[in-house]
Each structure stands twice: as structure tokens, then as C-alpha cells.
Amino acid sequence: MGVLNVTPDSFSDGGCFLDPQVAVHHAHALVHQGADLIDVGGESTRPGADPVPPDTELQRVLPVIERLAAALPVPISIDTSKPEVARAALDAGASIVNDIGASLDNPLMAELIARSGAGYVAMHMQGSPKTMQDQPLYADVIEVIRSFFRHTLDRLQSAGVHPDQVVLDVGIGFGKSLQHNLELLAQTSAFTDFQRPMLLGVSRKSFIAKVMDAPPGARLPGGLAATCLTLGHGVHVVRTHDVAETVQAVRVAEAILARRPSP
């Protein structure tokens, strides 16, 4: 999943792709590098970010999604927690909703996913982007997120969403300390019994800098390490800013894993 942020303030590429023509050109490059889908976001969700009004988000994403849907051979995802933005994006040609807050407290999102048949990424986040890194606490981060996934899947099923529409995301960096993030990455297999694909989003995340001090643009090696160590343990979709490098790392890791003897 290639990342396309059409925002002025995303943590690593804010302001780079505000021009729809530039954004579309970058999306074509990501697909050429091997992206199987493109995730378009119009609201920064970095720690401390302020919320963006729906109209502003739509002004940013709709011109890009319309052009991408007409030109690209891969599915388009809208990165949003707002049902009204998701609905407009699906009407414009997106086919997946990547919901960072799994906003099922608002029944309109689940109803939209059921009615449209769109794919849905349900991500765990403690708090909101504005507050999520203010001393996140868990008695047991694995069990809390397992409970969240159980509740989310039940709510989606009750709304008429088929399980095959759903992908799960533990939300690395969203309301988690360094230790929480490392524990989740070490135990992605703890979520395989839900029998749903898992999305992993570690690209350029700040937890890498807490292990090895590095600015966002220098965190690729750390992200690739985390990605490769989770392969074969439930992760099926990798969200990344650096598609070419991630594709190569994943393909090599998969080739090695395929040669491991069965337990």
C-alpha cells in the first residue's frame, strides 16, 4: 500500500503533494515501483495534529481520487475516519476505507461499508491524534487490542458487513509507547485467530527514532526491519512511503521464509 498524503502538515511529506497533478504523478510512480494499492489521505494524523473539517479534507482528496480512479490499474483507499468523507471518496472511485479510529461509535460508517461493499481497514487508536501520545497506558496492550478487534468485528457483522471486507490494523504509533509498539510488533501472531488479514503501518514512524535516533527521512532501514520480522505472522498488507525498497525487502524475506522447514 503506497502512501499518498495530500496534506500540508503530515509528519514526513507534508506539503509535497498538495497539487493534484503532482499527487497523481507520484501515485503513478508508486504503482510503477510495485504498489498494489494507493492510500490517499487529506488529514494529518501525526501526534498532536489538529482535526481538519470535512469540507477541507474533501477539497484535498476528491480531485486526486477522481483522477487516480480513472487512470490507475490498482484500487484506491481513502484514509479517513469521517463517514461523509468516506462516502464521497467511494463515489469518486475509491474502493477501500482506511479508518484510523475504526469510528464505529458513529453507525454511519458501518452502514456505509455494508451498503457499498467497500473494503474496510479497522485500526486501533487510543484517544485522538491530538492527545494519543499523552502517556498512553494499557494493563495489557495485546489483550486490549484483541478485545477491540472482537468488538469491532461484532459491530461490523451486526451492520451487515461481510468478514471478507475487513482488514485489521493494531495501529503502531497511535496511542502507544515505544514498549507497546515493540510488544505488538513482536506478537503480531497473537491476532491471527481472527482470520482476517492484518495491515502493518510502520513507515517512518517515530518509534524507530526512539530505538535509533533518526529523522523521518532516515528511518527506512528500521521500518524494513520491523516489516520483515512480522512477515509470516499475520501481516498481509504493508503501508509504506517507500514502495520500491519495501517491495524488494518483502520479496526477499518471503523467498527465505518459503525455504524454512515446516514446524
Inform me whether the pLDDT recorded for 130 exceeds 80: no
- Whether 242 is in a domain gets the answer yes
- Structural domain contains residue 241: yes
Task: Verify whether residue 176 is a known catalytic residue.
Answer: no
What is the count of structural domains for the chain?
1
* 246 part of a folded domain: yes
> What radius of gyration do the chain's Cα atoms show?
17
H helices present in the chain, as ranges: 20-33, 54-71, 83-92, 107-116, 141-159, 178-186, 206-211, 220-230, 243-257
- Whether 263 is in a domain gets the answer no
Using 50, 70 and 90 to split pLDDT, how confident is the model at 99?
Answer: very high
Does 18 fall in a domain? yes
- Among residues 46, 82, 196, 239, the one annotated as catalytic is 239
- Residue 184 sits in a domain whose CATH number is 3.20.20.20
Q: What is the largest CA-CA distance in the chain?
A: 53
Span 220-245, pLDDT tens digits: 999 999 999 999 898 999 999 999 99
Confidence of residue 132 (pLDDT cuts 50, 70, 90): low
Which residue range is the domain that position 56 belongs to? 2-257
The answer to whether 176 and 143 are in contact (CB under 8 A) is no
Q: Which of 60, 176, 205, 219 is catalytic?
A: 205
For the segment 17-27, what is each residue's pLDDT rounded down to a tens digit?
778 889 999 99
110 within some domain = yes
Is 239 assigned a catalytic role? Answer: yes
